[in-house]
Amino acid sequence: MSSVLHPRLAPRRSTARASTWWGKAWVRAIEEAAYAESDLVASRTLARGGHVGQISTEPGRFVASVEDRRGLWTVAGGIPVLEDAAVSALVETVAAESGRVAALLAGELPFTLVEHAEEAGVELLPYGGELSSTCTCDHWTDPCTHALAVLQQLTWLVEADPFVLLQLRGLPRDELLGRLHARTEPVEDADVDLDAAVEAALYAARLLGDAEPLG
């Protein structure tokens, strides 16, 4: 199972919780999962202060360390991966419009992609009850402030690269692009086949310096 170790995120002065529509949806899930508003406030302070270490992500799981005045703690969390049928449906949804591949590679998550995926029975964005976590601290709430801090920083990672969300859901970038390449049918309403569309998107991403695989 491939994992990705993301660079440590620098402290942020901005108090904005999210800047994209999908980031705001992720934040809503965090808020649904939290036990109290005070936990959310403390977690935002930790996240913005740069107290979260490098976050490792893989299908269904994320891990990171968090430091506060009491010590250094290890957080392990999870999000349910999609079943095989749902993964196939998601691939079909991405393939339905050639521009969706280019959008993902450019760091955008098209609203229509998520909307059409939901119509196909695929819930891509999580809700609060799907966010699980454990922490080495002795806090009695679940998720604790340390886990919430990691989730807050995951918001920024997911906003910058929607492939992080897809990987957590069980469809890493390389697998998605590989399955798109393997398709032989032309994209609906397109003059070029899907292979050509994916190649063009990859080429454009390389020109933008955004072609490094995420695992």
Phi, psi of 56 (to 5 degrees): -100, 130
Q: Is pLDDT larger for residue 126 or for residue 213?
A: 126
At residue 56, the pLDDT reads 98
Residue 83 lies in a domain: yes
Tell me, what's the pLDDT at 206? 52
Whether 55 has a pLDDT exceeding 70, the answer reads yes
**Range of 80's domain?**
19-207
Domain membership of residue 8 (yes or no) is no
Which of the two residues, 141 and 77, has the higher pLDDT score? 77
The answer to whether 57 and 168 have CB atoms below 8 angstroms apart is: yes
Q: What are phi and psi of 206, to 5 degrees?
A: -65, -40
Write out pLDDT tens, residues 11-29. 998 888 899 999 999 999 9
Is the residue at 40 inside a domain? yes
Residue 7 lies in a domain: no
Domain-embedded: residue 11? no
213 domain residue, yes or no: no
Domains contained in the chain, number: 1
Read off the pLDDT band of 189 (50, 70, 90). very low
77 within some domain = yes
Position 184 in a domain: yes
Give the pLDDT confidence of 79-114 residue by residue, as tens digits.
Answer: 999 999 999 999 999 999 989 999 999 999 999 999
